[in-house]
Structure 1
Amino acid sequence: MSKTSCNWILYLSTFTANLFFVSYGIMLSWNTPVLLKFRSDNNEINPLGAPLTVFQLSLCTSIFPFASIFAGLLVTKMPDIFGRKRSMIYIATAGLLCFIGLAFVKNVWLYCSIYMLTCISVSGGIVVVPTYVSEITETKNRGSLSSIVAVAATVGQLYLFILTPYTDFKMLSLCCGMPFLIIIILSFFIYESPILLSMKGDTDGALNILKKLRRNVDPSKLEDELREKEKMLVTNDKKSALKVLFKTSVGRKALFIALLVRSLPSFSGFYVILSFFDDFLREPTNISVSSNTLSIFIICFKMFSSSLISLYLDRFGRRIYLLSGCIVYSAATFGMGMYFLCKNNNMYIPEAVKFVPIVLLFLVSLGYMLGLAGVSFTVVSEILPNEARAVGSGFAACIANLVLSAIAVSYPYIDEYFGLQFCMFMFTVPLIIGFFLIFFYVPETKEKTFEEIKCLLDKHRT
């Protein structure tokens, strides 16, 4: 292992930024325990005083993806205006205040308002993080450190499910605000992105930060690294981010790839599966193990698989994970669709097959971790031109969340009128299409500098 990989300040900076993804993981699974509490008629469990109506339940389910659309629009320019580090502090402060506000709500409409602001804060943070992490890491470890987002998101989900049996809604909300508090504290010990300083003309400051992030590295190599990034910036310093994305061939190709890999997780329906995890696990299996326990097992499996993927991402590359993730996920959802097709049509299902939904849920989680979670964020942070990365990633996130909102709103109606099997088949088709689009149009970015990726896109067909 190289000495640079043991640089504690680099890992502390990456860890601090990725705490946003811990909060993101919490929000992904937030509806599972919270909506169960809100559907209860026990006032000691339900802080709202009365169970949610069907309309209120639908509204609460769709708030997170809907709010994420606004986050992509509101936060897109923040990293360039305030800086990566200061933007993270501002967003974390807003998120912490929102979680404190959630703890004391007694009205469903007040809850929806504060919950939306919380979701905007969480989604805004994950717009900033990939840009920051990709700019502080080296070419050889950029993939591994960037893909840790999948591990962090899984930690957030596990944290939520472990807390759920032992906390009421008030304490659960306060505990879920802890990642934001830790971000604020640790932000005093990390550095601003050297690329941002270089963009603003502070070459000496950028080089000084690079020396701290790349300890025991020859200073001449650091100067070469900074010079390479400055060269890329100077090439397009007079072009606006939107002009780079839409008016240049490289920008259009990069934006297409970013939209593809960021939209596939939304089309996969994984958020909907997480939102109704409890019902999903309980209804088809009829086994004695509680759904919360099964959820913890599945999330632990996700954490283990995402950790391995993060560890070996820079060894095997991005494409193999994207492609294999599409294959595993689409096969698992197709299997789920066939299971529910048989079940809902009263076809004979052997006793030995009753555990199939659980096995397939593990495979769904594996497929999502392989190519739809952290790897997609890594590819977006690498593929977009540096001068338009913040805008491009925000735009891709906005489109992805628009897709996610549509799926979240339509899912209950499709389930009600067409059956759960149709939902599973609906999630399968986009992943199959995504497999072929990735195979033909997404180049490998492993161990490529940003300038090399730019040249690769210029030659690659899309």
Structure 2
Amino acid sequence: MADRSYVYEPVSTEAPVKTQAHNMEQGQLWRQYIIAGVANIATIALGFALGWTSPVNLKLLDPNDTPLSRPVTNDEISWIGSLLSVGAMFGPFIGGFLASKIGRRWSILLSSVPLIVGFVLVVAVQNVAMIYAGRVFWGLAVGMLYTVLPMYCAEIATDDTRGALGSFLQLFVVLGFLLVYGVGPFVPYFTLQYVGIAVVAVFCVLFFFMPETPMYYLNQDDVDSAAKCLQIIRGKSRAGVQAELDKMAAEVKAANEKTANLSDVFRGANFKAFYISCALVAAQQLCGINAVLFYMATIFETAGASLDSAIATIIIGAVQVGASAVTPLVVDRLGRRMLLLISCTGTTIGLGLLGMYFILDTNGNAVVDSMRFLPILALVLFIVTYCVGLGPLPWAIMGELFPIEVKALASPIATAFCWMLSFLVTRYFNPIADAVGMGVAFLIFGVCCIIAFFFTFFMVPETKGKSFQEIQEMLAGKTSPSKSEKM
């Protein structure tokens, strides 16, 4: 029998060759991008659900367009916007549990169940309560996917592509926003829901054929399945992936030797990873992104912008997609910290301009008539800079910072915290804006972005190009960041 350390079975049907030759295998990098892209089709459906309120709110308020027996009230609009975040608080714990028990792949596939249930409820709508319920089910899927997808993408990626694949989540979410913004204002209420169902169906069919992550199989002591997964993902033979597989197995073995419980999340390097992750998702929500996106059309109507609100919203959606497409291209070159600092600066300026406009408008300043373009300009700046940093990177960084043994415990808590803040922002944005004015509300968000800038500058480590082991050593203070990482 052949020496198994010397001869391996390749992925293709070619004859076995020697390990030394396989050490030079280049593999097929595009496979990682295709697999991550297919997985993130689910987040197109999430973006559709998250942006759904922008075109639908106007329909629900219109006596001639609402599917209900009466127009909804402003308070009901606030609940419709915010209840998705309630579901998203519970989804992470479901997703984290399923990811550890049945795998990342099946957890992602099962997220389609609450998505479909949500669409069924809003299609069969008889009263506002059914819309509330549909939004909660969509939120469950959001929480599940925002927990498991970063985990999945981080575990299939090589060290030098992890940032790019982690940024896919934001890119595909904004594709969902653009879809609902582009279709919603121009089709009947029920047609819009069928478009969303079609997206979920396409995801289920395509992702069914995608692989599980090698890390999950190694956690189950199934080395052969892990090797086959890694061969598919890398496009290499068994010999070609052996060194990487051995490294992964060593990491998993070291992690399994540590019996993690909830208290471990709040100790040492784990706690540092936890509070950095929580601070970044807090910055993501407290910059006001969901208030802006959920009430996009309403903001344009209130501002009296010269462009039709539906067209302006589509422009913003297209800008989101363009900006989000930049991050995967540059994140592994510029690094996470640099993009976060740029993002915090840009969102601060955008919110400042938006707040100034609304304050001038409220005070009846005559200059406002010549500044009707400003809400669009400010929102474009806000969206562009949000999408290159605060949007995608908290999730990518979270997938990198937590060690394997606490990831399933810590990620759901941080994700639930994120969506709790999202609920508070979306539920109380309108009442706060009514009480202090839309302009002051946006300035409050701007102050939060300033705080996020300084937190990132002083506290967030650079993880660009580092292995999971190197990141853990850095968090534990065993290595010193280079000068480039401090910039």
SS, match of residue 111 in structure 2: helix
Which residue number in structure 1 is paired with residue 57 of structure 2? 35
Query: C-alpha distance in 1, partners of 2:66/2:121?
Result: 16
Give the Cα separation in 1 of the matches to 2:261 and 2:97: 10
Give the 5 Å matches for 1:160-239: 160-216=180-236, 219=238, 222-237=241-256, 238-239=258-259
The answer to whether the 8 A contact 1:100-1:174 is kept is no
What SS class does the counterpart of residue 49 from structure 1 fall into? coil
Aligned counterpart, 1:20: 42
How do residues 273-422 of structure 1 correspond to structure 2 at under 5 angstroms?
273-287=292-306, 289-349=307-367, 351-422=369-440
Assess, with a 3 A threshold, how the Cα gap between structure 1 residues 355 and 55 changes in structure 2: closer, same or farther.
closer
Cα distance in 2 for partners of 1:70, 1:134 equals 23
1:437 is matched with 455
Instruction: Describe the superposition over 1:50-69 as per-residue Cα deviations: whole angstroms up to 9, x where unpaired.
Output: 11123322221211112211
> Could you say what secondary structure the match of 2:465 adopts?
coil
User: What is the DSSP-based 3-state SS (H/G/I as helix, E as strand, rest coil) of the residue aligned with 2:125?
Assistant: coil
Residue 370 (structure 1) shift: 1.8
Distance (whole Å) between structure 2 residues aligned to residue 12 and residue 93 of structure 1: 23
2:111 to 91, 114, 118: 91
Query: In the alignment, does 2:83 pair up with 1:47?
Result: no
- For residues 37-79 of structure 1, the C-alpha deviation after alignment (integer angstroms, 9 at most, x for no partner) is 111112xx21111111233222212111122112123322110
Deviation at 1:6, TM superposition (A): 4.2
Superposed, 1:122-141 pairs within 5 Å as 122-141=142-161
Give the distance between the partners of 2:475 and 2:195, measured in 1 at CA: 44
Structure 1 ranges of 4+ moved more than 3 A: 2-8
Equivalent position of 2:270 in the other structure:
251
Report the CA distance shift for 1:364/1:7 in structure 2 as closer, same or farther (over 3 A): closer
Q: Are the counterparts in 2 of residues 68 and 401 from structure 1 also a CA contact under 8 Å?
A: yes
In structure 2, distance between residues paired with 1:284 and 1:341: 11
What is the rounded CA distance, in whole Å, between the counterparts of 2:235 and 2:119 in structure 1? Answer: 38
Indicate how the Cα distance of structure 1 residues 209 and 165 shifts in structure 2: closer, same or farther if over 3 A, else same: same
Report if the CA contact (8 A) 1:20-1:129 is conserved: no
Match of 1:327, as an amino acid?
T
SS in 1 for 2:40: helix
Aligned residues: 455
Contact 1:104 1:170 in 2 (8 A): no
1:3 deviation in Å? 5.1
> Distance between the aligned counterparts of 2:69 and 2:167, measured in 1?
42
Change (3 A) 1:59 1:285: closer
Instruction: Please say which of residues 133-142 and 338-347 is displaced more in the overlay.
Output: 338-347
In structure 1, stretches of 5+ residues that fail to align are none
Distance 2:77 2:49 in 1: 16
1:268 to 272, 287, 290: 287
The one-character-per-residue Cα deviations of 1:346-405 (angstroms, maximum 9, x if unpaired) are 234165433122110101101211211112211111111122223322111111111111
- Is the 8 Å Cα contact of residues 92 and 125 (structure 1) preserved in structure 2? no
1:166 Cα deviation from its structure 2 partner: 3.5
Q: Encode CA deviations 1:110-153: one digit per residue, 9 max, x unaligned.
A: 22123311221233222211101110111111111210112101
- The amino acid of 2:117's aligned partner reads L
The residue aligned with 1:146 is: 166
SS at match of 2:355: helix
Any idea what SS the aligned residue of 1:236 has? helix
Percent sequence identity over matched residues? 24
- Structure-1 separation of matches of 2:424 and 2:298: 21
Q: What does 1:2-17 correspond to in 2, within 5 Å?
A: 4-8=27-31, 10-17=32-39
With structure 2 as the length reference, what TM-score do the two structures score?
A: 0.89
3-state secondary structure, aligned to 2:62: coil
Counterpart among 77, 96, 121 of residue 97 in structure 2:
77
**Which structure is larger by alpha-carbon Rg, 1 or 2?**
2
Q: How many Å apart are 1:304 and its aligned residue?
A: 1.0
- Paired letter, 1:58: S
How many Å separate the matches in 2 of 1:383 and 1:175?
A: 37
| TM-score when normalising by structure 1 | 0.93
State whether residues 140 and 314 of structure 1, in contact with CA within 8 Å, keep that contact through their aligned partners in structure 2. yes
